[in-house]
Amino acid sequence: MDSTPSPRHAPRGISAEQRRGIRRTTWTVTLIVLAIYFGYMILTLIQLHR
Amino acid sequence: MDQPYESNAHADHEHKPHGWRRWVFATNHKDIGTMYLIFAGVMFFLGGGAAMAIRAQLFKSGMELFDPAVFNSLLTMHALMMIFGAVMPAWVGLANWMIPMQIGAPDMALPRLNNLSFWILPFAGTLLLSSFFVPGGAPAGGWTMYPPLMEQFGASFPMVVFAIHLLGISSILGAINVVVTIMNLRAPGMGLLRMPLFVWTWLITAFLLIAVMPILAGAVTMLLTDHFFGTSFFNAAGGGSPVMFMHIFWFFGHPEVYILILPAFGVISEIIPAFSRKPLFGYEAMVYATASIAFLSFIVWGHHMFTVGMPVAAQLFFMLSTMLIAVPTGVKVFNWTATMWKGSLSFEPPMLFAVAFLFLFTIGGFSGLMLALVPSDYQYHGTYFVVAHFHYVLVPGAVFAIMGAIYYWLPKWSGRMYDMKLAKWHFWLSAISVNVLFFPQHFLGLAGMPRRIADYAPQFTDWNMVSSIGGFVFGVSQLLLPYIVWRCVRSGKPAEARPWDGARGLEWELPSPAPFHSWQTPPSEAVLAHGAEH
């Protein structure tokens, strides 16, 4: 367990491994959101031009 | 047994910021949860005010309290405020409060993102409401925002599109936070199939939000570019298709309904076992049923569009896939009933709301099955029958579950008990009046009264009067809730750590009120087992 630098900015008492997990999951989910947002608009364009 | 909560281990951390900084710079999941719930409450009463105005106008034929354009704006804003301003933020508030406490985490995984997702909301809400005061008035085309109607509302059009974008961003950020927290911060030993049902339903809801909110954002972005930048996504004159907007909207819109109701399933799955003093019947079946409902929600959107016109094969597909949802939903209703079977039941306010949910949500489910049948839908579509159907699902469904959740966890949040007698009054007034309000709307719809009209033929007057009276009683009786909460927080009797003797879960292992920082050291396996098996 490593300690968190500030109680205001991150939950205290979480391990370095959890921290890495948080970073990985956040990026994965964010990329999914962006892919759906732009992907859906591109799909609409393709459908309209068929 | 281990000490459930080692409050002395981090006594120096119990200090919390004071004054306005505590709220504006809040990173604590409980403070942010409280702000979400207050925001949802404000929007609930504003949206309720619009509903009262609607019911006043419809009290009898020829009332003419409002200009029809204003009536349509009130109707549209009522929907937007209730869906995006009241019910969704209320669920996020409950998620903020309960998920870290239920999984044994110190806080949400991304506390600053949590602050941002909340503070977007008041600005988006203000933007939405201020559209009433611009030339042309607030949007009046219904919450579905169909083009080309939606694009005819002057200055309010871009304001609402921007507000929807902001509300969507807030929901997506909240959902990311929920997924990241649940996937990474569960207490050691809490496997996925040991999570409380409220956490499970929220995890699935968060995935639904992540999957469909960007689609709504995409749809309204395309509306915006059609209007201001000369594109023709939905403009038939330029080669686009307005029907395509309907498909995209409902591909978002149907899962959105489940976003509003899945956390309710979680809450009911917490309350019924607690007041039946039995474990939940068929825990794993409940998890799989929730996941099945979420999956099916992506392949049923066409049932909103039967009358638009589509091939018979598509109609059949959407009809059958919609009827399939009754299977996992039936599993849930059966399991809740089986949980109560031979239980040691008691009917405190949370249980009253849960049992009412069970009966009344099922009525909404049944009328949904009627609407799923293509030939019947041609008869019901666009009538008050549809209004009765979705209000049964959302008011005695989602809203009653939120009320039940507040009455269930309020002693844990505040450390005080509320006035049971007054809460039971709140329940009985709500449960009776909600039926007086919405049940006659089935009759009106079957008799042919169209929805979204500012006036109607005189033969519909009687049931409209009954419905409006029910609406006024329901609206006024909701004022009891903030009063009960205020009195509880101010002067309620101290609550025990586990005020409901049948309650299970980690949150009840914490003292009441829950400490500012929840689980600063993860709960041990023994605490986990004690919480689950109490």
Q: What is the pLDDT of residue B415?
A: 96
Element (H, E) at B468: helix B461-477
Q: What is the pLDDT of residue A44?
A: 82
Q: Which residues of B476-495 are buried (b: 16+ CB within 10 A; e: fewer)?
A: ebbebbeebbeebeeebeeb
B372 Cβ contact list (under 8 Å, min separation 6)? B303, B319, B322, B323
Q: What is the pLDDT of residue B531?
A: 74
The answer to whether the beta carbons of residues A29 and B210 sit under 8 Å apart is yes
Contact B106/A37, CB-based, under 8 Å? no
Q: What is the pLDDT of residue A10?
A: 53
Q: What is the pLDDT of residue B292?
A: 97
Q: What is the pLDDT of residue A17?
A: 86
Mean per-residue pLDDT over chain B, rounded: 93
The answer to whether the beta carbons of residues B113 and B176 sit under 8 Å apart is yes
B380 SS3 class: helix
Residue A9 contacts B where some CB pair is shorter than 8 Å: yes
Q: What is the pLDDT of residue A43?
A: 85
Residue B241 contacts A where some CB pair is shorter than 8 Å: yes
CA distances for B228 relative to B25, B245, B279, B477, B519, angstroms: 37, 17, 57, 45, 51
Give tens-digit pLDDT for B59-89.
999 888 999 999 999 999 999 999 999 999 9
- Which segments in chain B show pLDDT lower than 70? 1-15, 534
Q: What is the pLDDT of residue B10?
A: 45
For an interface test with B, which of A1, A8, A42 has the most B Cβ atoms less than 10 Å from its Cβ?
A8
Residue A6 contacts B where some CB pair is shorter than 8 Å: no
Residue B32 contacts A where some CB pair is shorter than 8 Å: no
Residue B111 contacts A where some CB pair is shorter than 8 Å: yes
The answer to whether the beta carbons of residues B130 and B159 sit under 8 Å apart is yes
Contact B222/A47, CB-based, under 8 Å? no
Contacts of A8 in chain B (CB under 8 A): 17, 25, 27, 111
The answer to whether the beta carbons of residues B105 and B38 sit under 8 Å apart is no
Contact B185/A47, CB-based, under 8 Å? no
Contact A30/B176, CB-based, under 8 Å? yes
Residue of chain A whose Cα is closest to the Cα of B215? A37
Instruction: Give one DSSP letter per residue of A21-45, joined into a string.
Output: HHHHHHHHHHHHHHHHHHHHHHHHH
What are the CB-based long-range contacts (under 8 Å, 24+) for B131-137?
B131/B77, B131/B155, B131/B156, B131/B159, B131/B160, B131/B163, B132/B73, B132/B77, B134/B159, B137/B69, B137/B70, B137/B73
The answer to whether the beta carbons of residues B26 and B117 sit under 8 Å apart is no
Closest CA to B213 of B169, B262, B147, B163: B169
Q: What is the pLDDT of residue B12?
A: 44
Residue of chain B whose Cα is closest to the Cα of A48? B240
Residue of chain A whose Cα is closest to the Cα of B175? A29
Q: Which of B100, B108, B214 has its CB closest to that of A40?
A: B214
Q: What is the pLDDT of residue B348?
A: 97
| Domain annotation for chain B: domains and CATH numbers | 31-234+251-533 (1.20.210.10)
Beta strands in B355-482 (DSSP E): none
Q: What is the pLDDT of residue A8?
A: 45
Residue A5, pLDDT above cutoff 60: no
Q: What is the pLDDT of residue B296?
A: 96
Q: What are B258's two structure tokens?
A: 């489940």
B154 Cβ contact list (under 8 Å, min separation 6)? B134, B135, B136, B137
Q: What is the pLDDT of residue B422?
A: 97
B426 SS3 class: helix
Closest CA to B180 of B202, B211, B198, B212: B202
Task: Report H helices in B309-383.
Answer: 312-324, 326-340, 349-372, 374-380
Q: Which residues of B are catalytic?
A: 78, 107, 143, 170-171, 254, 256, 258, 269, 303-304, 329, 332, 451
Residue A10 contacts B where some CB pair is shorter than 8 Å: yes
Contacts of A40 in chain B (CB under 8 A): 214-215, 218, 248
Contact A36/B180, CB-based, under 8 Å? no
Q: Which of A7, A33, A45 has its CB closest to that of B214?
A: A33
